[in-house]
Amino acid sequence: MSDLDKLIERIRSRPPVADFEDVRKLLEAFGWVLNREKGSHAMFTKEGERTISVPKVHGRKVKRVYLDMICEILGLDD
């Protein structure tokens, strides 16, 4: 199992919070680009897609509700 597969499984398991770096790696693996960070929000963009805004708790954690949204956008719930 590759590192990306392990990361996908970790995010799909919907922990209460996930490390922002894991979320960033996952989105970048699916072609999203970290466009900018302003305050506690990171904006990811991809050609032909709506911008994803990911709020960070205490600068490095992402809440489950945003993991749900990311999994839905990436089609990881299939």
Degrees to nearest 5, angle at CA 51 with 46 and 53: 125
Q: For domain 3-74, give its CATH number from 3.10.28, 2.40.400, 3.30.920, 1.20.120.
A: 3.30.920
Q: Measure Cα distances from 9 to 12, 71, 74 in Å.
A: 5, 11, 13
Distance of alpha carbon 61 from alpha carbon 78, whole angstroms: 25
Please give the mean pLDDT across all residues of the chain: 93
| Whether pLDDT at 78 is above 70 | no
pLDDT of residue 55: 93
Domain residue ranges in the chain: 3-74
Kindly report whether the global pTM for this prediction surpasses the value 0.85.
Answer: yes
Distance of alpha carbon 43 from alpha carbon 54, whole angstroms: 6
| Whether pLDDT at 24 is above 80 | yes
Rounded to the nearest 5°, which phi and psi values hold at 59? Answer: 80, -5
For the segment 9-36, the average pLDDT, to the nearest whole number, is 95
Count other Cβ atoms within 10 Å, centred on residue 16.
8
pLDDT of residue 65: 95
Q: Pick the more confident residue, 36 or 59.
A: 36
